[in-house]
Structure 1
């Protein structure tokens, strides 16, 4: 149960998206200002039952699973797709990576819409849009239709990046954020691991087209569940709707601290739709986080896009056997998400107590340190053991270590953004993820050429060295200068 003390301020002085729960003072000043009915208001998502909050969290996590599975599930089937559509290696690789490019642009529109119309309708309609175009991709007979349908399905699927983090911020108090992350990030990141396993088995048995149709069927099942389970979580919208009902029933000018009684929808839309790009341009801390996330995500997709090829070409495995190696990623993700999320909560509580009950987004940063060590270590083990054709279990150990590091860094950076921009979690998350999605598209395109020229050993050594240059200073930069960078970004007029 949330208490007023749980609705904290960030060190930059920004209130949480929910107003102060005890609103008696506001009501004395202005009886038409709509706020929560005390700290135990049952309408506040913080005070919902654990069953309801976990149901929504797990539902959206499964939506994220579909999103990331769809990105890499066809990787083992690329040779079959190339043969059927008569495309070369580079063009075929675009079928895989163009989907990820849509993740950069989809949230820049969907996140503001979620701040105007709510999380629920945006997620449901976007999922239906994904189902439509992902199904069309399975019927593609030309490269053009395949590329177009992959882009459009990617835009629909990108709702996961627009909605999931904001919903976590809506429902879970900061001290529970690590626990919620344990599920919300773990399930989606199983997608890049189990997607190729299923994709290899499906494409080899019943054909590559079913790699699309199976995901469409599963996402349709999730949408059906959402109609009954997914209740709107956005506190701003809940209060705005309450004020609107009071205006209609009484004729009095009820309003909220965000929207006046006479504010037009067009004004709200025009302000909201430009917010992600304004945040990215005006907030130095978001620019720094975006660069860190970009290299993490791009490097992960570079490795994943060539992982199946390694086992098929160098180790002589079948498509199905090559997919099984992705289980190593599952193991790495599981360890990192379950252990790291709990460490995050404990560190946050410890640092909060040490600071006299004050909080700051920087309390999420320490978890990045093990991630910064594990990522280059995993790259080097994976690359050089694959280069020397060592027994398959050793490259898999390297990829598991890499997965651990990626999860630790991702969890820390996402939690940092959520704490730093609680008023605009959806837009801030979209802004921070814009560059990473572009990197996820671009990196796999040059992956085959890099490994052909340098081999797996030196190729991964270049990636590891680049990460050391970019990633090792990251936690120290955020810890030491994070508050300064956040203060440099004006939030006026957002």
Structure 2
């Protein structure tokens, strides 16, 4: 019998596939289950809406803002690029803070900065202020995506992680798809400052209940949720429950460390993670290139106004939303299939030891067809635009691109959290850093590429880059488990 078949995960009474039951005294992975777990993940999902919403709601107003501030379109486009750069950088700073101080303090700092930035953006009328406040807006909102994945890792076991990370990403998908529509309507009927007043009101309406009810979930602070956090980190609801309980455990003492973004670079330099992030960044860059070019290409080909162009983003958003609710289930099914083959019990309530489980193979097998179909869809999209076909052609392909790209992001996020369960926010921050920066580059070069190569060949080149992901993921699938096991041995020898 192989070592993998001999290795058994830590399992609970709630097991699948007919495997043997675990000791009854084993602590459950999280005290949150059923409706409580769903509500926590939904709150994290809604919080992650603000980063892509803020990025895309602004796009229909670019020309109007350039005219009113008396600057060129190039300078206004620079505010989009800097937003994406901070979208990648900020989570690298806040992730360490969230892993040491907790998820709630990180959310509080993020939303205070975000709301203040939006108020400033709504009242300013100078380009320099616009640039600085957009950077602050990005800093405040972008870390919520990393926090959402971290919360999923806090309360959900590996067996259900694919589904729940899909749920957690749904908020970002909604923001991505409805942002241009809302931005176009607000700009046309109320003026561009109304965009930022809208974001201020929406963020405030969400932040207040989050502050009142969201519990601290960071496992380094509350364990499986049964250990109370420090009093200053309790929600008012937790504080009331703590005071009513006669046998409540004493709150844990927390040491807050100054965030060190260099830890994110250490994660990126891991050879297994580097390959995963490279694939994820190539896919994200392809998606960013398509989304950035939609406005200019559809306006040129079909003579659409801002509201009509905003509506054309709906298929991509619908595809992404469909991916959020379907692909995670497929990823979890493939995990259970591998576990059944290896004789490993699957638990939805207890931690499972993945040190001897080929999680890389289970996740990558689901990604292969996605990146192939994505590459083919991008090539077809380019040539459909080249020949100026009926509008149905590009819209159907935008649906396909939205589905395959988002499904790939979700599963790679699951894999990163599986590998770095103890620091999920930092792992997601590393993913955001690489993909947002490469995505910013793709957004900057796609229009010059189209002008120089034509629509067909420009998107053919981008589609071919997606095919590169297949051999890279094969390396991760075949060698990643061994690399991860060797790293674990080195860390144990160092006493990490």
TM-score for the superposition, normalised by structure 2: 0.83
Give CA-to-partner distance per residue, 1:206-238, whole Å, 9 cap, x none: 112222221221111111110222100112201
Is this contact kept in 1: 2:65–2:192, CA < 8 A?
yes
Change (3 A) 1:95 1:355: same
Show the counterpart of 1:310: 297
Residue aligned with 1:399, SS: helix
Change (3 A) 1:354 1:86: same
1:276 to 259, 264, 267: 264
Show the counterpart of 2:209: 225
Is this contact kept in 2: 1:65–1:188, CA < 8 A?
yes
Is this contact kept in 1: 2:111–2:141, CA < 8 A?
yes
Change (3 A) 1:49 1:87: same
Q: Is 1:137 paired with 2:121?
A: yes
Shift of 1:244: 7.8
Q: Is 1:181 paired with 2:165?
A: yes
Count of residues in Structure 1 that have an aligned counterpart in Structure 2: 445
Is this contact kept in 1: 2:162–2:411, CA < 8 A?
no
Distance 2:122 2:446 in 1: 25
Distance 1:244 1:383 in 2: 55
Q: Is 1:52 paired with 2:10?
A: no
Shift of 1:310: 1.8
Is this contact kept in 2: 1:196–1:323, CA < 8 A?
yes
Is this contact kept in 2: 1:62–1:187, CA < 8 A?
yes
Is this contact kept in 2: 1:276–1:430, CA < 8 A?
yes
Higher mean displacement: 331-340 or 56-65? 331-340
Shift of 1:39: 2.1
Change (3 A) 1:347 1:23: closer
Distance 2:444 2:470 in 1: 26
Is this contact kept in 2: 1:377–1:398, CA < 8 A?
no
Distance 1:6 1:110 in 2: 34
Q: Is 1:322 paired with 2:306?
A: no
Over aligned residue pairs, what C-alpha RMSD do you find? 2.7
Is this contact kept in 1: 2:276–2:473, CA < 8 A?
no
Distance 2:229 2:195 in 1: 46
1:290 to 265, 269, 277: 277
Show the counterpart of 2:431: 432
Q: Is 1:423 paired with 2:422?
A: yes
Distance 2:71 2:471 in 1: 42
Distance 2:135 2:342 in 1: 47
Give CA-to-partner distance per residue, 1:86-132, whole Å, 9 cap, x none: 22232221222211111221111111101111011111221121111
Is this contact kept in 2: 1:65–1:189, CA < 8 A?
yes
Distance 2:180 2:152 in 1: 28
TM-score for the superposition, normalised by structure 1: 0.83
Shift of 1:487: 4.0
Equivalences for 1:192-211 in 2 at 5 Å?
A: 192-211=176-195
Is this contact kept in 1: 2:97–2:259, CA < 8 A?
no
Give CA-to-partner distance per residue, 1:399-434, whole Å, 9 cap, x none: 111111111211111111111111221212212332
Change (3 A) 1:86 1:446: farther
Give CA-to-partner distance per residue, 1:116-165, whole Å, 9 cap, x none: 11011111221121111123223332221111111111111122133111
Show the counterpart of 1:251: none
Show the counterpart of 1:341: 328
Show the counterpart of 1:5: 11
Higher mean displacement: 390-399 or 328-337? 328-337
Is this contact kept in 2: 1:370–1:408, CA < 8 A?
no
Is this contact kept in 2: 1:93–1:444, CA < 8 A?
no
Distance 1:184 1:434 in 2: 19
Shift of 1:327: 0.9
1:70 to 39, 42, 54: 54
Distance 2:51 2:409 in 1: 17
Shift of 1:456: 1.8
Q: Is 1:152 paired with 2:136?
A: yes
Structure 2: 5+ residue runs without aligned partners?
1-8, 14-21, 232-248, 345-355
Distance 2:446 2:122 in 1: 25
Give CA-to-partner distance per residue, 1:280-306, whole Å, 9 cap, x none: 23x211211221222222222222122
Distance 1:339 1:124 in 2: 32
Shift of 1:203: 1.2
Change (3 A) 1:478 1:85: same
Higher mean displacement: 134-143 or 60-69? 134-143
Shift of 1:379: 0.9
Distance 2:275 2:402 in 1: 22
Structure 1: 5+ residue runs without aligned partners?
8-20, 25-37, 246-253
Distance 2:453 2:175 in 1: 29
Distance 1:288 1:448 in 2: 28
Distance 2:495 2:406 in 1: 34
Change (3 A) 1:269 1:372: same
Show the counterpart of 2:413: 414
Give CA-to-partner distance per residue, 1:415-472, whole Å, 9 cap, x none: 111111112212122123321121122221222212222222111111112222x222
Is this contact kept in 2: 1:67–1:188, CA < 8 A?
yes
Show the counterpart of 2:383: 384
